[in-house]
């Protein structure tokens, strides 16, 4: 992972999921407001299962990339009296946790009468926590800027982990879901930022990793990324609302939140077009 | 911001809002007790929107002040291979977060059927957290007293941030609202204190920034500021109660909390006079 | 406070309150179970007000003791260009917070229709937090054992502060109340322990303040104090139960928790005798 | 405890309990879903009491082992002007807390109308916290790997302690119970891991306690242990479900979660066979 691509890959994964969530949760919110019920429709269930599957696939891609890049460990853990490429193994472990979270997501919605609701959130919280946990112990002995830029991520990770844990108890709280989404987008864009700062891809000059000013700028930059994440969410939120209102009008319905949506089909098509828009 | 005025400005902003809240929340509390309902009256909604607008204006003033003071960066971020006035940029970022919080406040009450309730609290919590976050990384390499006096603020900021986050779930809890108010007043007066200690304005002698005794005193002083904040809140709380009882009596009504207020107009006038009193 | 008496005084205050609570909360719990209601009887209210008054008196005694001991500051804060006896001032501040908490307790129960329920808990949590806050910044530059024995207290203080804050939302939860009681007793006995360790009163030999073994023992000893606090609470809890059952039987009533207590008078006499037993 | 057996003993205790819980809580969950009620059946109560008794017995075994091993303190605390074997005393204290937790467990279910529900959870949380507390202050001045491998345990302990405290308020939440179970299994297997790393039992070569790579591997290994704990729980969960479905079919009943179990006897036999399976 110690190169630009190694940061761009997880960054993209997180970004894709973050963008998807910034469309999905507003959709779900307006849909539930319209229908005045809390039960998951069959359609929603199917989408959740697909989401879990995509998460698992992303995790597997990540693990394979970490293990089988030319200078990767190729599944060797201990070789000639020393550990082989522990960095790659740590990254694989991180992906593995997200993979398991994906599997549990699928199980929760496939066998919702067997697997208790909330377990999916707990495992996701643990996956995010483990990522933070491994990052925390893995930035020692590096130049100050490298250490700082990675440790900023911890704020997002531990904050996200706490918020997701809360969802075990306060499930389907739209504000917690939007917070989770914003933290995820932040994580995605920040991985790209790390890649650009530590491994400038287009021949741009290297950053001075000892300079205090660079560290100060990066701290502030982290806040800006969060603001960008908020903006993206705000835009997607409004787009979803406009889209649903227009769908409504075409279907001869009324303003959302006042009367129930005419059919599940509307929601389904909304979700599908919503995901096409990305 | 590294002068007396730079601390007096945010201090005044926080103080004005803190004093306003110490009047507003008791008013709202007594009003709701009288009416035995939770819904926001149209009047309350209008006040919340004005509050959000004022917050946004304050933030814009702050940003402009930080950017366009004579030795400010004038919106230049990177100049001749080095970052320009990062301190001012960091302060601008802090103001920016509060500005966005103000905008979200307005949106929450303007479009309350679209924007989920609780989002305003989340964004405010994030704004307060970001302020603490930037402060935390920005006091290194300074004299001990300077470092200490700024880091005391973090207790207020992170405590406030946690308490505001709780309001996402336990909304309209008067105790949480009063706590938030007290922390805000504390922040306001503390900014003034920082200004007086680090940049004595009236030619008073400089404080010895290495002296342990000064640090011990400042720590205790922070507690005193909180006690003052509690007193201010107590006084305003009683004034609001007395005022409402008198208004009641004139209107021929009964003791508050037992019978409903005669008209929304009473509340409106109460709020307006309340804000005039400051 | 830097002597045996200075630690014995607050220790006794905390102990007296802890012991009283370990009788009061079981009494209240059994009483409420018997009556199946949540409202405060007038009797209970009177007891809470007396408790608040005693708390305030204790705080005033503490402040006076800290200010007017022979080597105290006698209310002088700044004298001949240096701070006077800042230690005593810090301790006075701690007492002051508890005094204000006592006043708020009284107000909450005297004017329960004006002062919002839960404010008493918030102020108490802030008082306990401030004690921890001041302690935290006040043990630097001392021998290791002194520093360690004081900082152990912080676990109790911050733990207690969090638990009391939770009572703002989960009021009248007997488990939280018992936890608070146990932490208070712990604090009381620990102040005595500090006195005995740092200022051996009966001519016993001094403790070696650099010895790692002493520090290890003190850490374990802190746990033992907590166990003792739990035992005291267990004994008082059982005594209260036995006492109430006997009172019941004499009054011709039935087993507690199944039928309601015959009269408020029973509870009142139970409370009064309960407090006599200490 | 500073040998392989000293770590294997508590590890086994924690593992046995963890495995038992990973069977018990799914059983309880499916049972409650079937019966649609929250009250504890008499059978369940009996099992809880036995569990408390076993916990107490384990704690007594632990204390006796720590005190009366050949090089133990044999109940002498202070001897010839120095503390005797403080390590063993600290471990005894840890066991003692769990013993008291066991006693409270028994009391809670024996006298459920006297002892408030939730006290058992609070005491368990305090026992786990105390273990972490003593560990935290007891790894100073050791080689880096020793220090690191012990401090990783703290994540499990403090995480577990917070989660158990939450159960005071959100009792019988299956997700919190499963999380507690997973942390307990993790603790059990990790104690064995510590034994294998620090005191290799079968003549395997010693680990280099200064090597950074070993520390990195151990950090990742901790995550793997958690994954193993999740897998064990997943397997036991599925086994319990399959077992209950089969029992149901034999008894002529319907799918679990839809119709109530035919008799308490089914649950009893399920529990008994469940514990036999280990």
Cross-chain Cβ contact D86/C217 below 8 Å: yes
Task: Measure CB to CB from residue D96 to each of C178, C227, C258 and give the nearest one.
Answer: C227
- Residues in chain D within 8 Å Cβ distance of C215: 137
Cross-chain Cβ contact C116/B178 below 8 Å: yes
In this predicted structure, the answer to whether residue D56 has a pLDDT above a threshold of 50 is yes
Task: Measure CB to CB from residue C175 to each of D97, D113, D168 and give the nearest one.
Answer: D168
Shortest Cα–Cα distance, C148 to chain D (Å):
10
**Position of tokens 């916290």?**
D129
- D245-256 confidence digits (pLDDT tens): 888 788 765 444
Residue B192 CB neighbour total at 10 angstroms: 18
Segment among A29-43, A182-196, C210-224 with least mean pLDDT: A29-43
Instruction: Taking residues A181-185, report their average pLDDT.
Output: 93
Mean pLDDT value across chain A:
83
Largest CA distance in chain A: 72
- Residues in chain C within 8 Å Cβ distance of D134: 219-220, 223
Cross-chain Cβ contact D138/C219 below 8 Å: yes
Q: Do chains B and A touch (3 or more CB pairs under 8 A)?
A: yes
The pLDDT, as a whole number, for residue B272 is 41
Segment among A254-258, B127-131, B229-233, C28-32 with least mean pLDDT: A254-258
The pLDDT, as a whole number, for residue B256 is 44
Chain B and chain C share a number of CB contacts under 8 A equal to 60
Question: In whole angstroms, what is the distance from residue A79 CA to residue A77 CA?
Answer: 7
In this predicted structure, the answer to whether residue A95 has a pLDDT above a threshold of 90 is yes
* B169: contact with C, CB 8 A cutoff: no
Shortest Cα–Cα distance, A112 to chain D (Å):
11
Helix (H) or strand (E) holding C79: strand C78-79
In this predicted structure, the answer to whether residue C137 has a pLDDT above a threshold of 90 is no
pTM to 2 decimals?
0.85
* Range from A29-43, A90-104, B32-46 that averages highest in pLDDT: A90-104
Instruction: Taking residues D196-224, report their average pLDDT.
Output: 87
List the 34-63 stretch of C: residues with Cβ below 8 A of D.
Answer: none
Segment among A126-135, B51-60, B72-81, B119-128 with least mean pLDDT: B72-81
* Range from A31-40, A42-51, B222-231 that averages highest in pLDDT: B222-231
Shortest Cα–Cα distance, A23 to chain B (Å):
14
In this predicted structure, the answer to whether residue D268 has a pLDDT above a threshold of 50 is no
pLDDT > 70: what percent of chain B? 87
Report whether C134 contacts C93 (CB < 8 A). yes
- Three-state SS for A1? coil
Q: How confident is the model at residue A39 (pLDDT cuts 50, 70, 90)?
A: low
Shortest Cα–Cα distance, D182 to chain C (Å):
25
Residues 6+ apart with CB under 8 A from C246: none
- Residues in chain C within 8 Å Cβ distance of B173: 118, 168-169
Q: How confident is the model at residue B204 (pLDDT cuts 50, 70, 90)?
A: confident
ipTM higher than the 0.95 cut? no
More confident site: C272 or C29: C29
In this predicted structure, the answer to whether residue C95 has a pLDDT above a threshold of 50 is yes
The pLDDT, as a whole number, for residue A40 is 56
* B114: contact with C, CB 8 A cutoff: no
- C139-165 confidence digits (pLDDT tens): 777 888 989 999 999 999 999 999 999
In this predicted structure, the answer to whether residue B58 has a pLDDT above a threshold of 80 is yes
- A127-178 confidence digits (pLDDT tens): 999 999 998 988 777 888 989 999 999 999 999 999 999 999 998 899 999 9
Question: In whole angstroms, what is the distance from residue B172 CA to residue B33 CA?
Answer: 12
Segment among A24-28, B30-34, C6-10 with least mean pLDDT: B30-34
- Residues in chain A within 8 Å Cβ distance of D223: 93, 97, 130, 133-134
* A175: contact with B, CB 8 A cutoff: yes
**How deeply is A60 buried, as exposed, middle or buried, from its count of CB atoms within 10 A (0-12, 13-18, 19+)?**
middle
Cross-chain Cβ contact B230/C168 below 8 Å: no
- B61-105 confidence digits (pLDDT tens): 999 998 888 888 888 888 877 888 888 899 999 999 999 999 999
More confident site: D271 or A188: A188
Cross-chain Cβ contact D83/C176 below 8 Å: no
Q: How many CA atoms lie within 13 A of A177 on its CB side?
A: 19
- C68-89 confidence digits (pLDDT tens): 888 888 888 888 778 888 888 9
Instruction: Taking residues A109-133, report their average pLDDT.
Output: 92
Question: In whole angstroms, what is the distance from residue B19 CA to residue D221 CA?
Answer: 54
Shortest Cα–Cα distance, B7 to chain A (Å):
20
Look up residue C43 and give its two tokens: 């009797």
- Three-state SS for A79? strand
Cross-chain Cβ contact B174/C116 below 8 Å: yes
Chain D nearest-CA residue for C241: D114
The pLDDT, as a whole number, for residue A106 is 93
DSSP characters for B118-151? THHHHHHHHHHHHHHHHHHTT-TTS-HHHHHHHH
Q: How confident is the model at residue A252 (pLDDT cuts 50, 70, 90)?
A: low
Task: Measure CB to CB from residue B168 to each of A175, A215, A227 and give the nearest one.
Answer: A175
- D21-55 confidence digits (pLDDT tens): 888 888 888 877 775 454 557 778 888 899 999 99
More confident site: B180 or A85: B180
The pLDDT, as a whole number, for residue B258 is 40
Helix (H) or strand (E) holding B67: helix B42-68
Instruction: Taking residues A105-131, report their average pLDDT.
Output: 92
- D72-110 confidence digits (pLDDT tens): 888 888 887 788 888 889 999 999 999 999 999 999 989
In this predicted structure, the answer to whether residue C271 has a pLDDT above a threshold of 80 is no
Alpha helical stretches, state H, chain A: 4-35, 42-68, 86-110, 119-136, 144-169, 174-198, 212-250, 264-276
Mean pLDDT value across chain B:
83
Residues 6+ apart with CB under 8 A from A69: A88
List the 59-98 stretch of D: residues with Cβ below 8 A of A.
Answer: none
Mean pLDDT value across chain C:
83
């Amino acid at each position: 992972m110690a190169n630009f691509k190694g940061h761009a890959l997880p960054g993209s994964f997180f970004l894709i999921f973050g963008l998807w969530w910034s469309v999905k949760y507003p959709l779900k919110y307006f849909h539930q407001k319209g229908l005045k019920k809390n039960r998951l429709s069959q359609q929603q269930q199917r989408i959740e299962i697909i989401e879990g599957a995509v998460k698992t696939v992303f995790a597997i891609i990540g693990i394979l990339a970490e293990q089988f890049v030319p200078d990767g460990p190729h599944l060797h853990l201990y070789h000639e009296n020393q550990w082989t490429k522990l960095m790659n193994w740590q990254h694989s472990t991180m992906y593995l946790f997200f993979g398991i979270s994906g599997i549990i997501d699928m199980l929760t919605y496939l066998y919702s009468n067997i697997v208790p609701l909330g377990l999916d959130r707990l495992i996701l919280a643990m996956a995010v926590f483990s990522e933070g946990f491994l990052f925390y112990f893995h930035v020692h002995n590096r130049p100050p800027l490298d250490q700082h830029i990675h440790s900023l991520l911890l704020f997002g990770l531990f904050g996200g982990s706490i918020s997701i844990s809360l969802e075990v108890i306060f499930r389907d709280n739209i504000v917690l879901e939007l917070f989770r989404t914003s933290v995820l987008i932040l994580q995605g864009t920040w991985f790209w930022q790390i890649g650009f700062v530590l491994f400038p891809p287009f021949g741009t000059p290297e950053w001075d990793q000892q300079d205090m000013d660079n560290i100060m700028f990066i701290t502030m930059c982290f806040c800006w990324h969060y603001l960008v994440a908020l903006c993206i969410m705000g835009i997607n939120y409004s787009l979803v609302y406009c889209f649903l209102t227009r769908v409504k009008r075409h279907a001869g319905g009324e303003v959302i939140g006042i009367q129930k949506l005419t059919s599940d089909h509307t929601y389904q098509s909304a979700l599908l077009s919503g995901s096409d828009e990305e």
